[in-house]
Amino acid sequence: MTGVWDPVHLPSQAGKTVVVTGGNAGIGYFTSEQLAAAGARVILAARSRERAEAAMGSIRSRVAGADVAFVAFDLTSLASIAAAAAELAGLGPIDALVNNAGLVVAPPRRQVTADGLELMVGGNALGHFALTAQLFPALTPDGRVVGLGSMSTRMVRLDPADLLSERRYRPFRAYAFSKHAVHGFAFELDRRLRDAGDSRRSLLAHPGFAVSGLAAKRPGVTDQARWRRLAEIVLFSVVGQGKDEGAWSSVRAVTDPDAESGTFFGPPRMQLTGIPAPLAPVTSSASPEFGARLWALAEERTGVTFELGAP
């Protein structure tokens, strides 16, 4: 990679279709807006039609001729994921899938998805595994899959034997485990693509320390209490960035023509802020041993077989 990438002047994405899960809010919204501004057709996969309509209205008000659409999608339901994958495939071919949606705040006690999977790992990681597997045949030969990483993987040691917190549950531990799994899936998919001689790419994007209060305002989408916004500005302006800037890592993973499969993009300044650059992940998340174990677990627990084949 040349290392030269400008978030203000993106390569044209005209003629491309990008799916952004959770594209109706937060980093997902700004990812969608920026990709639409670059000319991409953006499909927002989200639970709330009302919030998605507000997001699409906001994008259209800022991007003349924006081509945006909505597909209902619940990351915590395998039935919803299967239905969404079928609908999205019908809207393809897909040039990029940004697996952005996810739960950030874990519940105080262990909860499970509609299919009995621990909520954080089951939704954030295994749900996206199932979506990617079922949508993968609709990806173009140079299509990309982008996962949303997290610096929480540097704060909590991975325990592969208790990934679903069946032995011990702690809220932040469960969240960090879900991000270890997101990392593991991205790198294992990259390895399998390379082994298969498949030209499609698997990448990972880390948004840094991104908060709403430092982001550009988008009425109806980014609304928050005035006191909260002011508090975030005061507390985080030195160490954080807005969610609009946090979206840059995902956008680079989608748009950088030189991005190689297996690249982990994130902000370079202490992994908190800045224009995204290639980063090194924690060893445990990126290891082939964890990747293979995670892949087998994902197929077993979701009932979805992920077989690579010609696009």
Dihedral-angle region of residue 165 (phi above 0 means left; psi in -120 to 50 means alpha; beta otherwise): left
- Our measurement of the distance from residue 121's CA atom to the centroid of its chain's CA atoms, rounded to an integer in Å, reads 14
Give yes or no for a contact between 150 and 272, defined as CB atoms under 8 angstroms apart.
no
Give yes or no for a contact between 99 and 45, defined as CB atoms under 8 angstroms apart.
no
Residue 15, Cβ neighbours under 10 Å: how many? 9
Who contacts 83 (Cβ-Cβ below 8 Å, separation ≥6)? 72
The residue to which tokens 């993106």 are assigned: 10
- The alpha-carbon radius of gyration of the chain (Å, integer) is 18
The single residue of 73, 175, 290, 295 carrying the catalytic annotation is 175
Query: Which of 33, 114, 43 lies closest to 75 in space, CA to CA?
Result: 114
Residue 175 a catalytic site member: yes
Residue 243, Cβ neighbours under 10 Å: how many? 25
Give yes or no for a contact between 262 and 187, defined as CB atoms under 8 angstroms apart.
yes
Catalytic residue annotation: 175
